[in-house]
Amino acid sequence: MNRLSNKVCVITGAAGDIGREAARLFVSEGAHVVLVDRDPSTLAKLLTELGSTHAVSVVADVSNEQEVSDFMSLAVKHFGGLDVVLANAGIAGPAGKTLEQCSVEEFDQVMTVNVRSVWLAIKHSAPLLRARGGGSIVVTSSIAGLVGAGKAGPYVTSKHALMGLAKTAAVELARDKIRVNTVNPGPVESRMMREIEHGFTPEDESKAKKGILSTIPYGRYVRTDEVAKMMLFLASDDSSFCTGSAYLVDGGLVAI
């Protein structure tokens, strides 16, 4: 299992359900990882699990330009270079509220954490990836980046914005052999979905889940390991000619 051997990867949102799974898989495939999150305690547990030979962790805010620049540089200082960025940190925002009900603060927070962060990740990783002769940037969007949904307006808007951002970066960076793609998972069996289900039907979260499940041809949520495997494909040289595209892991949800 050496699909990422000698590759140095920055993973943001590493303490989250998807980020942890990706970090485990990437390390098992030989990667050295810089784990980034704002949650220090989960990050510390993950670092203990993965071991300090293959991993280093940074508590940072992915929407802060200086902090992004610092953790990208750390990859070079600690492991000698940067090959892969998994820009994965994100928040659900106000689930269950219509666009009319959202405040400016709620809207701006989602756009700042979900969109500005990815632009900053691209901006500050591109020179380092270029210096290595190329690399891969994998952006976690969502099926919410491809189709609309009511009562999740800021999230849907932010995940659509990532599609434009990734495509632009793919075009601008192709000459440097830097590939940029999005992973678009459907609803994942995860903490974030519990938060969203609660936002939709606070009186009984299972009601929202039942409704969502009825829209998925496979009849279940995506597992985090299924998302991580797609991230591995895009991070590795197996996807050497793939750039500027969206990779769905959604059990057929968008096919209907």
Which residues of the shown chain bind ligand NAD in the complex (CB under 6 A)?
13, 15-19, 37-39, 61-63, 88-91, 113, 140, 142, 185, 187-188, 190-193
Residue number with CB closer to ligand NAD (132 or 181): 181
Residue number with CB closer to ligand NAD (172 or 189): 189
Q: Which residue has the tokens 């895009």?
A: 234
Taking the CA of residue 164 as centre, how many other CA atoms within 13 Å lie in the half-sphere pointing to its CB? Answer: 7
User: CA 44 to CA 65: how far, in whole Å?
Assistant: 23
Q: Which of 155, 218, 221, 247 is catalytic?
A: 155
Least CB distance from residue 224 to ligand NAD, whole Å?
7
Give the containing element (helix H, strand E) for 140: strand 135-140
Residue number with CB closer to ligand NAD (16 or 154): 16
Least CB distance from residue 194 to ligand NAD, whole Å?
9
User: CA 222 to CA 136: how far, in whole Å?
Assistant: 24
Sheet holding 8-12, edge to edge: 55-59, 32-37, 8-12, 84-87, 135-140, 178-185, 246-249
Provide the residue count of the chain.
256
Least CB distance from residue 142 to ligand NAD, whole Å?
4
Least CB distance from residue 38 to ligand NAD, whole Å?
4
Residue nearest to ligand NAD (CB): 16
Identify the bridge partners of residue 138 per DSSP, sorted by sequence position.
Answer: 86, 181
Least CB distance from residue 75 to ligand NAD, whole Å?
16
Residue number with CB closer to ligand NAD (27 or 188): 188
Alpha helices (runs of H) in the chain, residue ranges in sequence order:
17-28, 40-50, 65-79, 104-111, 117-131, 153-173, 191-200, 205-213, 224-235
Active site residue 247: no
Residue number with CB closer to ligand NAD (132 or 155): 155
At 226, which amino acid appears? E
User: CA 209 to CA 138: how far, in whole Å?
Assistant: 28
Tokens read off for 152? 């999740």
Catalytically annotated residues = 155
